């Protein structure tokens, strides 16, 4: 639904530690519908600024690595003039169980800086439903302007087969407000052009 153009640069690689800033631009591919529970996206432009760090835990085993990252998204304002920027943070571990098999687990947080709150429920008892979605204009935009705050955990694996990596992951909702609960299973493959890849996740 959206085009994403991004770049990353390894700014520091010293011993077991690496730091990588990133920059990405997200552009909607066309004027798709963004109203409803099952729409493909929010149809908003974004500028994403991030910093990622990784460190091998040689003290334990060279096959173990800890990773962390933070991204701040500057999001286009919708028809309702309301701030809707977003922070995403993650921390995780990856382990090369064999030269071909890599396992990983991570925790992921999202916090929306602004947005609309529906209210009601045990975490918003002071804000009766429908909360801040209290005008026809806000209701029309609420699907892409809710204050989506969430915490998820994820686990997965990747297996290298020469020029192809097969990977899968399970994402589980833990907590949040004005967000979707549930889980997601992702399966896929990465094809390398040129030299063969490794067991890294894409």
What was the pLDDT predicted at 151? 97
pLDDT of residue 201: 41
Spatial neighbors of 57 by CB under 8 A, at least 6 apart, are: 16, 64, 65, 66
Residue 95 has pLDDT above 90, yes or no: yes
Q: What is the pLDDT of residues 27-80, one digit of tens each?
A: 999 999 999 878 888 999 999 999 999 999 877 777 899 999 999 999 999 888
Q: Which of the four pLDDT bands, split at 50, 70 and 90, describes residue 22?
A: very high
Give yes or no for a cis peptide into 200 (omega within 30° of 0).
Answer: no
Q: What is the pLDDT of residues 65-77, one digit of tens each?
A: 999 999 999 999 9
Kindly state the average pLDDT of the residues 11-18: 87
| 155-170 per-position pLDDT tens digit | 999 999 989 999 999 9
Q: Are 166 and 159 in contact (CB under 8 A)?
A: yes
> Taking the alpha carbons of 32, 179, 4, 168 in that order, is the dihedral positive or negative?
negative
Which has more pLDDT, 193 or 9? 9
Tell me what pLDDT residue 67 has.
96
Task: Examine the pLDDT at 198 and tell me if it is beyond 80.
Answer: no
Region for 136 from its dihedrals, namely left if φ exceeds 0, alpha if ψ lies in -120 to 50, beta otherwise: alpha
């Amino acid at each position: 639904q959206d085009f994403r153009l991004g770049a990353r640069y390894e700014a520091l690689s010293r011993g077991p530690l690496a730091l990588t800033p990133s920059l990405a631009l997200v552009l909607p591919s066309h004027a798709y519908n963004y109203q409803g529970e099952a729409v493909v996206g929010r149809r908003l432009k974004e500028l994403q600024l991030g910093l990622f760090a990784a460190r091998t835990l040689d003290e334990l085993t060279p096959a173990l690595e800890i990773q962390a990252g933070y991204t701040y998204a500057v999001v286009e304002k919708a028809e309702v003039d309301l701030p809707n920027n977003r922070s995403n943070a993650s921390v995780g571990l990856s382990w090369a169980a064999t030269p071909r098999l890599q396992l990983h687990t991570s925790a992921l947080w999202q916090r929306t800086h602004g947005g609309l709150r529906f209210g009601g429920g045990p975490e918003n008892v002071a804000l009766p439903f429908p909360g801040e979605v209290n005008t026809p204009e806000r209701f029309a935009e609420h699907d892409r302007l809710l204050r989506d705050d969430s915490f998820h955990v994820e686990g997965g694996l990747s297996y290298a087969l020469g020029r192809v990596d097969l990977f899968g992951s399970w994402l589980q909702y833990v907590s949040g407000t004005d967000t979707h609960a549930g889980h997601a299973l992702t399966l896929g493959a990465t094809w390398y052009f040129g030299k063969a890849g490794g067991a890294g996740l894409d």
